[in-house]
Amino acid sequence: MLTTLLLLRHGETALTAHQRLSGSGGDDPPLSGTGRRQADAAAESLAARFGVQAVVSSPLRRCRETAGAAARRLGPEVRVDAGLREADFGAWEGLTFAEVRERYPREFAAWQADPAAVPGGTGESFASVTHRVERARDKLLAEHAGRTVLLVSHVAPLRTLVRLALGAPPRTLFRMDLAAASVSEVTYDGAGEATLRFLNDTSHLSHL
């Protein structure tokens, strides 16, 4: 009996378009016009390819809007799980990676090397993100055994789910590309063993 988690990153926002860090500690931007079109395209593709039986979203607005577009096509109501929220990047919120690297070189290097490092002085470490994402995942697998569930979330939580599925080290987080409105798939067997089926599928966005 396989349980399938479809991992959908939210559509583009004004910050996403400029590759700026946008976590749970800064602004809560809505989808841009492009982001709304991406969410609709992802929803149409998911409806054609999968029989989704539950939709679960991060509480942040960009995810709830993306999940809403999916739910309108797929049927299930959106359930919000705070464990799927984006990391808090502290004082780095709104900055690009290049700006963080230039302004906080030591802290940035430590953040990339150590999952316990706290970004931006007051943010959330990847160790903390991993802990809450694991709890959210385990709860979903228990509640939806044998079903297909759409998770709408952000880069850090979704990369964490993929990393855990692969049994890969924390530094792997920086070696995955998850584009806005991309879809990935992880399945779990009855013993909880995970298989990554595909990663960062954006084929549904090619016509936009």
List 10, 65, 93, 185, catalytic entry: 10
Q: Of the candidates 48, 53, 52, 66, which has an alpha carbon nearest to the alpha carbon of residue 158?
A: 66
Range of the domain at 14: 3-203
Please write the tens of the pLDDT for every residue from 134-193: 999 999 999 999 999 999 999 999 999 999 999 999 999 999 999 999 999 999 999 989
Query: Is residue 196 situated within a structural domain?
Result: yes
List, in sequence order, every beta strand (DSSP E) within 38-145: 54-57, 78-80
Whether 5 has a pLDDT exceeding 90, the answer reads yes
Q: Of the candidates 30, 25, 38, which has an alpha carbon nearest to the alpha carbon of residue 13?
A: 30
Please write the tens of the pLDDT for every residue from 25-53: 988 999 999 999 999 999 999 999 999 99
Query: Is residue 186 situated within a structural domain?
Result: yes
Number of domains, the chain: 1
Please write the tens of the pLDDT for every residue from 46-96: 999 999 999 999 999 999 999 999 999 999 999 999 999 999 999 999 999
Average pLDDT over residues 129-138: 98
Query: Is residue 87 situated within a structural domain?
Result: yes
State pTM to two decimals: 0.97
List 44, 65, 77, 86, catalytic entry: 86
Query: Is residue 208 situated within a structural domain?
Result: no
Q: What is the CATH number of the domain that holds 185?
A: 3.40.50.1240
Quick check: is 131 catalytic? no
- With beta carbons less than 8 A apart as the criterion, state whether 89 and 119 touch: yes
C-alpha distances out from residue 37 to 77, 104, 178, 206, Å: 20, 35, 17, 12
Whether 101 has a pLDDT exceeding 90, the answer reads yes
Whether 1 has a pLDDT exceeding 90, the answer reads no
Quick check: is 10 catalytic? yes
Rounded-to-integer distance, Cα 114 and Cα 91, Å: 18
The confidence score (pLDDT) of residue 121 equals 93
Residue-wise over 99-132: b if at least 16 C-beta within 10 A, else e? ebeeebeebbeebbeebebbbbeebbbbeebbeb
- With beta carbons less than 8 A apart as the criterion, state whether 169 and 184 touch: no
Query: Is residue 86 situated within a structural domain?
Result: yes
Q: How far is CA 36 from the centre of its chain?
A: 17
